[in-house]
Structures are given as structure tokens and as C-alpha cells.
Structure 1
Amino acid sequence: MFRITLLSALLSVLLPLTVTGLPSHADPAIPRVPTKRDRTPYQLKPPPLDTPWTSKVGTNPWPEHPRPRLFREDWLSLNGIWGFEAFNRQEDVPASPPQVVALPQEVLVPSCIESGISGIMRLDVMHMYFARSFKIPSSWKRNNRVMLIFEAIDYEATVYVNGQKVGFNRGGYFRFSFDITEFIKLGESNELQVFVFDPTDTTGYRIPKGKQTLRPSHIWYTPCSGIWQSVWLESVPEHHITDLDLVADMNGQVTYHVYTSTNESTPVGISMFEAKSDSSPGQGNMVLTHKAVSNQKGTAKLASPKLWTPDSPNLYTIKIKMGEDEVTSYTGFRTISSGTVKGVKRPLLNGQFVFQFGTLDQGYWPDGIHTPPTLEAMVYDLQLLKKIGMNMVRKHIKIEPDLFYQACDKLGLLVIQDMPAMDPNVDLPPSAEQQVEFERQVDLMVSQFKGYTSIVTWVMYNEGWGQITSPDYPEFRIAERIRQLDPTRLVNAVTGWNDHGAGDFHDNHHYADPQCGTPWSSLASTPYDPNRIGFQGEYGGLGHVPAKDNLWPIEKAVNDINQTYEINIDLPSYHYRSHILFTLLKDQVAMHSCSGAVYTQTTDVEGEVNGLMTYDRRVVRIDIDQWRDDIRALFEAAKGRT
């Protein structure tokens, strides 16, 4: 294991570990970053705390196709070694993009530059250049268009190909792409340069950033800057499919909208294939064919579909053909709604009340910060939740790669998806300009991820962070906008407090004991509203200080441990307290109007030591058998209410 102090980490005093990777999903003619005599070669920097997957990252990170809902055969990963240079001030940035060979360091993409995996591990960079060379595979059709796709860059990115600007993007969590056909040279090496500006919480900026901060402390964590999700190229016909809205409900109705690169109405063929027994979106027997038209909303019907539920996460493969273009997607048949069951407002899945129970999931890693070291590592967290009987995860003020949501689709985990919050540690409310940008990014979140079957609820504001709390309350307007974009899911306008009555949920937070749909409330919360769903957005947070080898060894974080909501001196007391909290919650489910609860949290994060697992994922803190029994009792109590 790597164990170093923060000062050693940042100054790179210790000898880094050299890592190697498997062959890239790429044409063998694609060059590595050209070498330069004085360039600092990439080496994984030992992070303050590693995970079992740190040494497996290699130089071919995240080779999986990054967009499972719209897959084409002709794609090329640009992940791997890039050139890198950091600049202290905006005036230090060169007027024109530097050549790849001019950049003095190598960096691993995707990664946060603050992470050990990046090979940079710096916390003080706002301005930076990334660059690499690439060649277009000779097997791609010469008359096709070439798309350059970034899954996510934090925060602003200006992109150049062969020194020419091709576009700009703002927002740290969402996919964006450019048609670079006119900028590339076929059969020759091309240069890709990306200038990134990330203010995080610098004075004068207020952006959607979740828990990132330049000054980590307690519940505020190490930030993520740069190209932190996959980069790739795709070959598409001149007239091609650009996006797909697809909803399959419990009655077998499939509602679709195939968007294309032009506004033409073009014949589209849709084929659906039976779900495989292993719940993967593989191709089984064909169950439906349908003739459609592009750029028009339409419907098709499948008789007696196998429904998607947490217990049976059935998925169907879908192939869509339009002219020379063909894409593969998938979906699950299910319906999300709310309704009154025995006098209590409930969330419904396929017309039935399903109690939702899972963890607050921060999605932070000691070696990768925002970027999990591997797909296997990311899925490991989710598998633990399923193993102990949970059926839900709340993705907390962070947005993950698409492959996270595909994993939840496959495993059968309901997802409550938060919008990344603006900084709450500011006295003034967001300006009009900042609020407009926040709402624009809410639209991006819903539009990009609404095709994933597992997502059941959109969360707008967490504990008032970045929320305007004076009339007219914007959460009413935003909730209606979300419903326009996606009428198939529920909206949790406010989780925590500053609840003015918007959205489908009355959701409070209370540590450590739950207060879920109860006739009493804490000072921070409003009394339960029977016209909305009673929900416990956060509770628990029971802490236990792990062994030194499993602790984030940063002095500030260690000193903040005592701010964890509750610290137990040993594991027997921790197990006892967790059982007591389960008993209290079970009683509230049986006696009152509790429809779901979120336990804090999946793993420890930096100075917070209240996870089911330690931050390095090496120690499972909970008593798995006890938790299984207690979680089963929650679901039994909920069944008793139906």
C-alpha cells in the first residue's frame, strides 16, 4: 500500500510507481504522445491512500465503450497518455495552442489532475493544457463524418484540432462533442489540444461543483479538474442518429423519438430483442419490429414484456437502423409514478409501492478523486449494496459516467440522482446569471441520463445549497421544467430543508436517528406533508475510526474526524447502534408514512469515517448478516402497509 503525507504527495518526494497497461482499443498506427528529451514521463504518483485497483489502472484506462445507450462499431478511444502543462495565471497561457511536443509533462486521461492516478497530483491549478496526437483508422469510411466526444471535463474547455479552434464547452459533468471532419488530415498524424479552466470555489465564481473545494475540510473534499471522463472518436454517416429518447412502460408501450443530424423525416427500423437471463443487455430472440420516422415522436407495443424491477432487472436490446447508420441501445420496461396506498402518498414502481432503501453515494476515490480507478472498482461498490439487500442508491451531488447507470440497470438498483450543487458557503444568493447557468445544467443532466431505466427520481437542491430561498421560489419552476423534459420520473425539489412545498417528496435529513414521515420533526425540517411522499433523504452517519492503514492520512482530515455525526469507540458499539437505528426506522415504516430512506454512506470519504466500507475499500465495516436481516425487516414492514 502507498502511505505518504500530503506534503510528500504534492511535492512528489517519494519515488512513483511505474505502471503498464494492456493494448489500447485503437488502430495500431495511432501514435503515443511524441517524446521530448526533457518531458517528464507519466508515472502513477503514490496517492495518500490507495485501493486494490490502483496498481491495475495502467496506461490504457477505461477502455470500455463509454456510451452504452447509443453504440456504434466504429469508435476509437483516445484515453491514455497525453501531454500536459499547468499555468499559474491566465496571462501565462500561450496565445495559441502549444504543440504536443512542447508540453513538459505527461498525464493520464481520464483522471483528475489532483489525483495520484493522473501522475500530476496538484491542488493549485486553474489553467491547463492537455494535448495528444491521433490518426484516423484506415478502416473507417472516407465519406463519413468524424465526431470528437468528451464525456466530461471540469470545468470549461476550449478544444483545438491541428491548431484550429473547433469549439467551447462549460460544465463539469456532461458529455459534449464536435464534428471535426473539416479539421483533420486523413492518413496523417493530427494534434488535439484542450485548454481547461477550472475555478472550483475561487472567489468571484459560483458554479455547480458538488463537494469540491480547494480547501478540503470535513464534508468538503479534494476537487477534480481536467479531463476526468473518457475521450473518444466516432465515425458516423453524413445523415446520422444523434440522440434517442426511449421509454418503455409496464404495459409494454414503447415511446420513442429518434433525433438526427438533419430535420429530415427519414424511415427508421426499430428491432427489439428479448432480455437475456443474466440481465445483461445482450441480444436474445427478436420480440418486436417496428417502422418509425426520424425526428418524430412515436409509439410501439410489446405484449407481455418482462418488467424491470430490483429483483428482476430485465433489459431488452434495441437496434435502430436509419439509412447507412445503425446504433444499438437497450431499455427496461417499468413505470415510475406516485399514488395513494391505504391513505398514504407513496412512490410506485409498476403500480406497486416499493420501499426504497440504500446509501448516500459520494463517488469519491482516494486514488482517483472523481474518477474510479477501473470499471471493476466502480461496480464493486454497487455490488456490496445489492449483497446486503439494498434496492436503491442516492448519487449525491455528483454525476457519474454513463457506465455507472448501466451497471445500476443491470444490477437492479434504483437511482436517486442529485444535481451537483453550487457553493453554499457564500452569504449572497446566486446571481441571475449564475442561476440561469445552474438551470441550464439541470436540463443537461436530465436530457443526458433520462434513458437509464434505473433512475427513478431527480433531486434539485440538497440542504439549501445554492438555493434561492425568497419568493418566487425557483424550485417550483425548475420542477415543472424537469417534468416537461422527463414526465416519466418523480422530482425531489428539496432534500433536507428550505422546503416550500415543491416536488413529489417531503424529504428531511436527521442524524443519527431517522425522522421519516413522522408526526414530529427537527428544527431544521418542516412537519411532514401528507400530500407528498414521506422520505428520509439522509440519516445514520454512524462513525468508527479505522486502522491507520485504512485512513486518509491528511492531517486536516484526521483532525476533522470528530465532526462525523456520531463516533463509536469500537465495532461492537457500532453494530449495536446501527441495529437500533434500523429498529427505529422499521417502526416509522410500520406506524407512520415513511416510504424510503438513505443511509449515510457507502464509504468513508477523506475525514468522514461513517461508511459501510473504509475509503480504500479494503475493510467492510458493517456486520453483513445483521444488515441483511435488518434491511429485510424494513421491506417486510413496508409490505405490511400495503
Structure 2
Amino acid sequence: MWYQRTFTLPAAWAGKHILLHFEAVDHQATIFVNGQKAASHAGGYDAFSVDITAWLAKGANSLVVAAYDANDGRTPSGKNGPRGDYTFSSGIWQTVWLEPVNPDYIQTLRLLPDLAGQRLKLDVKAPGAARITAVVFDGKKEVARAEGTAETAFYLPLANPKPWSPDAPFLYDVKLTLTAANGRVSDEVMSYVGMRDVQLGKVNGVVRPLLNGQFVMQLGLLDQGYWPDGILTAPTEEALKFDMEYTKKAGYNLIRKHMKTEPQRFYYWADKLGLLVWQDMPAIWYPNEDTLATRTRFRHELKAILDDHYNSPSIIAWVPFNENWGAFDVVRITDWVKRYDPSRLVNGNSGFNNNPSYQKAYGDPKNGDFVDTHIYVGPTKASEPDEKRAASLGEFGGVGLFVRGHMWPVENNAYAYEPTKAALTDRYVFLLDQVDQLMRYRGLSVAIYTQTTDVEHEVNGLLTYDRGVEKMETDRVRAVNQAVLQAGYELATKKD
């Protein structure tokens, strides 16, 4: 696929370095500026940037992007691969923009909250040994300040920090100033941080995930992020936000972002609205053979995705593999993710009890932080915790309802069906009553219902694919969800 456009830089950008940012291009991208190759990148779900200053001319400039996707199953592609269930897409599918910067500028920033230590760890990448000043604000009030050096991690003390949680998603603003060797301020960056802590612990003798030291039942929706017009691309930021606000309105506190990543604005709204996120790694398929090159591509993009979204407090768990799809070295990769980012939980092979017909099942990796099964319709026979891992039901439900005039023009399907909105709501309330029992008496800590919206032939969403109809009685869905979450809070009375 080829893309071409011309652009003229504003006069105010004269003398600046010009960065060209891509949030995602599927899969191989080659960038040409004024007829000359400026850069190339491989990876369909991670962001990259190019300094195009050397290739720019005065006046109009030509930008050409060549995007190539072999669609052979040997690159991370999620549901968008050769065995994908939905319409295939490729090319530029996330945001592209230009940014002017000085020669010395802040290139990357890592923020790691330490709630118990009442401090914030900062790791800033910038040219040379530039001086970094970090200031934290609560609203307009400065509450902390520290100085450090680029390329060397430093800490910013933050007394009595306000914790981030779904019920109170408080975000501190963070301002970073880079002072170059000549003493001049060369760059300023605004960001934010949510002070939260995620780990496992025992509650009444049961291993459970703890948020800020307390068990919070994780009740969420499987969210595939598909759209009737843009496929993987939402039509607007408001559309992205609409799905998330509906999730919150319906009483959930978690989204499992399934088999894809989203633009950074999605994670901003999760941070802002107070929605926990489980982030999947898009699967590989390799239907013909498993090769070293395939595995190398997967590992490279997995690391890139972890780096891209490291600063989002809403992301509390990484999911490297799903239902054994394209799985390899599951134990090693699960351990590597946990070492690389110990601040989050890891679900190494969600739904290890399921398996595609073309590949041997890896089964339970017996490491990571969750014993995770998928049960349709469920939720009975969900996994139970062991001595080191919490129990999660990574997928269940999937009960469908036909809504005439709002269905994709193919044969539609679901795991089960109900004839009316009221009946579907009754069925959902019954399933959540069972989740409540599993949480209380079998140690279940996470339940993720399939799914936020219908997706093409699948009619098991809470919303139709066009987002035009709420398929359940939302007030009743919210009431039973909140009852389960409240029961979880009541369980969290004692931590061993």
C-alpha cells in the first residue's frame, strides 16, 4: 500500500529538528521524504518516530509511505492474521503527526510509581548528560520537585501520595524541563502519573491480586476494538471514549484489550476514567512452520509494546499469549515479561484450556500470576487459585441477541442465544450471581465477559456493532456488577 501527501512547515518551526511520528503501521513501513528513503520500521502494533530534518526542503515537501503486510501468519497480527475471524486490514491505522524539537530534547520518559515508598522513579532519555528538573502538580499546586541527569534514573519524593484506583482515578501532572550543557532550557514536556501498586497477596488465605494493598474484584469486558467502517481504526477519539464510558456506566472496572493495541488516547481515557486494563500481545499464527525469525519478530514487538505503554497506570496486567495461539517458550516469555516489568501482573497464556486445532497445546505454564481459563458460556468450572497464583476467568459469557437492522450482513453466531433484551439481561444477572459465588467460595478474582460490542458475525456484545443499541437493560447490568464488586470489597477485610 502506498500513501502520498505534501506538507509545508510553519515558519515558526525554522531551525528546529522535525520528528515524524507514527503510532502504528501494519506491518513493514518505509518512509520517503522528497524522494529519498528516510527510515524503515517493522511491527504493526508499536509506535516509531523518524527525524526527517536532513531530507526537508524549503516550501512544499513530499512524504511517501510504503506499507507492506505479507499476511502469512509469521508476524504478530492478532485477529487480523490469516486465521483471523474478521475483515482484514493493513497499512497506516493509527495517528500520524509532525513535531518540532530543539537539537537537545527529551526523547523518552519512564515513570514508575512507588506508592509504599512515597516516591516516583523517573528515567529520562535525552542527548548527553543534560540536567532534568521534574515537578509534580496536584491541580495547579506544586507538591514535589527534584533534579537529576538524563540517562540516569532518579527519584522524586512525594509525601502522602493520593492513590490511583477505578473508584478514584487521581492523576498528578508532571512537568519535565531539560537544561542543556550551555545552561539554556532546551525542552519542556508535560505528562501525568497515577500512583498505584499492583501485586499478589493473600486475603483470608486465598491468593488474590491487590491494588494499592487491597483486593479489588476485577470485573470486565473483552474489548476487541473493531469498527464497521475503520475495522481496527476508530472513526474518532470520541468514538473510542464512547465505548469506554459505556463500560464504566455499565458498572465494570476493567477492559481486556484483546489481540490489538490502541492509540495512546485510549490509554489516556482509561487512566482518566478509572478503568483497569489487561493488555494482550497480538498473536502470531505461522500456519506453515515455526521459525527462529518468527519468534524473533514476536519478542521484538512484545518488548516494543511494553515500552510504548509503560507509563499508563490503568494497565495492570500483560497477556503475552491467548489460548495457545502461536505460543512458544511460554514459561520463558512469561518470566521475561515479569522481569522486564515487575510493576505489573502477567497472565502468560490466558485460556490455556483452549487450543487451536493446528497446534499442540502448551497448557498451564504454571508460572506468572494467574491460573486462567476460558469457559463458554460458564462461569462454572472456572479455575481456582493455587499457592502462588490468583484465579481468573479470562473469558466467559458470549450470549447473543439478534437486533434486526443492526447486524453485519453475514450469518451471525454466538455461544448461546436469548430471544429478547429482557431475557438476555436475566441470563446475564444469573451468570453474575454465579460469578459472585465463585468469588466468595472458590477464590475467583477476575471475570471478563465477552464482549463490549458485536463484531461482524459475532452478536454477543452488550452493544450492537454500530453502537446504536444497548442490548441489555443497562441499569440492571450495572446493579448486579456493582453488587459483585461490593462483595469483593467486603471480602478484603484481612490480608495475610
For 2:349, the equivalent position in structure 1 comes to 494
Residue 603 (structure 1) aligned with residue 453 (structure 2) = yes
**1:66-96 Cα distance to aligned partner (Å, 9 max, x none):** xxxxxxxxxxxxxxxxxxxxxxxxxxxxxxx
SS of residue in 2 equivalent to 1:241: coil
Residue 133 (structure 1) aligned with residue 1 (structure 2) = no
* C-alpha distance in 2 between matches for 1:378 and 1:365: 10
* C-alpha distance in 2 between matches for 1:129 and 1:624: 44
1:541–1:565: 8 Å Cα contact kept in structure 2? Answer: yes
1:416 to 268, 273, 278: 278
For 1:590, the equivalent position in structure 2 comes to 440
Q: Pairwise mapping of residues 315-354 of structure 1 onto structure 2 (< 5 A)?
A: 315-323=171-179, 324-354=186-216
* C-alpha distance in 2 between matches for 1:587 and 1:411: 28
C-alpha displacement at 1:637, in angstroms?
2.5
C-alpha displacement at 1:518, in angstroms?
4.9
* C-alpha distance in 2 between matches for 1:480 and 1:215: 28
Residue 461 (structure 1) aligned with residue 321 (structure 2) = yes
* C-alpha distance in 2 between matches for 1:599 and 1:190: 49
SS of residue in 1 equivalent to 2:11: coil
Amino acid at match of 1:608: E
* C-alpha distance in 2 between matches for 1:406 and 1:542: 30
For 1:281, the equivalent position in structure 2 comes to none
Q: Pairwise mapping of residues 194-593 of structure 1 onto structure 2 (< 5 A)?
A: 194-200=65-71, 202=72, 205-213=73-81, 220-251=85-116, 252-260=118-126, 262=127, 264-275=128-139, 284-323=140-179, 324-423=186-285, 426=287, 428=289, 430-468=290-328, 474-497=329-352, 498-515=363-380, 518=383, 529-547=386-404, 549-553=405-409, 558-559=410-411, 561-562=412-413, 564-593=414-443
* C-alpha distance in 1 between matches for 2:166 and 2:106: 31
* C-alpha distance in 2 between matches for 1:493 and 1:515: 22
For 2:482, the equivalent position in structure 1 comes to 632
C-alpha displacement at 1:596, in angstroms?
1.0
2:206–2:443: 8 Å Cα contact kept in structure 1? Answer: yes
SS of residue in 2 equivalent to 1:133: strand
C-alpha displacement at 1:423, in angstroms?
2.2
**1:281-325 Cα distance to aligned partner (Å, 9 max, x none):** xxx211111111111011111111211110110011111111211
2:43 to 171, 174, 179: 171
* C-alpha distance in 2 between matches for 1:245 and 1:406: 15
* C-alpha distance in 2 between matches for 1:338 and 1:531: 8
**1:544-584 Cα distance to aligned partner (Å, 9 max, x none):** 1111x21112xxxx32x24x111222323212211111111
For 1:32, the equivalent position in structure 2 comes to none
**1:438-464 Cα distance to aligned partner (Å, 9 max, x none):** 011110010110101100000010000
Amino acid at match of 2:236: T
Unaligned runs of 5+ in 2: 180-185, 353-362
C-alpha displacement at 1:412, in angstroms?
0.2
* C-alpha distance in 2 between matches for 1:619 and 1:359: 17
1:140–1:235: 8 Å Cα contact kept in structure 2? Answer: yes
* C-alpha distance in 2 between matches for 1:164 and 1:515: 60
SS of residue in 1 equivalent to 2:2: strand
Amino acid at match of 2:391: G
- Cα pair distance change 1:215/1:352, threshold 3 Å: closer
1:516–1:534: 8 Å Cα contact kept in structure 2? Answer: no
1:149–1:176: 8 Å Cα contact kept in structure 2? Answer: yes
2:63 to 189, 192, 200: 192
**1:329-379 Cα distance to aligned partner (Å, 9 max, x none):** 111111111111111111111111111011000000001111101111110
* C-alpha distance in 1 between matches for 2:172 and 2:280: 27
C-alpha displacement at 1:229, in angstroms?
1.0
Amino acid at match of 1:164: Q
C-alpha displacement at 1:427, in angstroms?
6.5
1:533–1:595: 8 Å Cα contact kept in structure 2? Answer: yes
* C-alpha distance in 1 between matches for 2:9 and 2:136: 32
SS of residue in 1 equivalent to 2:79: coil
* C-alpha distance in 1 between matches for 2:420 and 2:86: 26
More divergent stretch after superposition (205-214 vs 329-338): 205-214
Taking structure 2 as the reference length, the TM-score comes to 0.93
- Cα pair distance change 1:364/1:432, threshold 3 Å: same
More divergent stretch after superposition (404-413 vs 237-246): 237-246
C-alpha displacement at 1:475, in angstroms?
2.0
1:516–1:593: 8 Å Cα contact kept in structure 2? Answer: no
* Larger strand percent: 2
Unaligned runs of 5+ in 1: 1-127, 276-283, 469-473, 520-527
* C-alpha distance in 1 between matches for 2:400 and 2:45: 30
Taking structure 1 as the reference length, the TM-score comes to 0.72
Amino acid at match of 2:294: Q
1:518–1:588: 8 Å Cα contact kept in structure 2? Answer: no
* C-alpha distance in 2 between matches for 1:332 and 1:213: 35
Residue 162 (structure 1) aligned with residue 34 (structure 2) = yes
C-alpha displacement at 1:623, in angstroms?
1.0
C-alpha displacement at 1:148, in angstroms?
1.1
* C-alpha distance in 2 between matches for 1:636 and 1:516: 23
1:617 to 450, 462, 467: 467
* C-alpha distance in 1 between matches for 2:381 and 2:142: 45
- Cα pair distance change 1:159/1:518, threshold 3 Å: closer
C-alpha displacement at 1:516, in angstroms?
6.6
* C-alpha distance in 1 between matches for 2:450 and 2:227: 16
SS of residue in 1 equivalent to 2:97: strand
* C-alpha distance in 2 between matches for 1:397 and 1:584: 27
C-alpha displacement at 1:633, in angstroms?
1.9
- Number of corresponding residues: 475
- Cα pair distance change 1:581/1:234, threshold 3 Å: same
C-alpha displacement at 1:515, in angstroms?
3.9
C-alpha displacement at 1:170, in angstroms?
0.7
C-alpha displacement at 1:641, in angstroms?
2.5
* C-alpha distance in 2 between matches for 1:427 and 1:354: 43
SS of residue in 1 equivalent to 2:98: strand
More divergent stretch after superposition (322-331 vs 631-640): 631-640
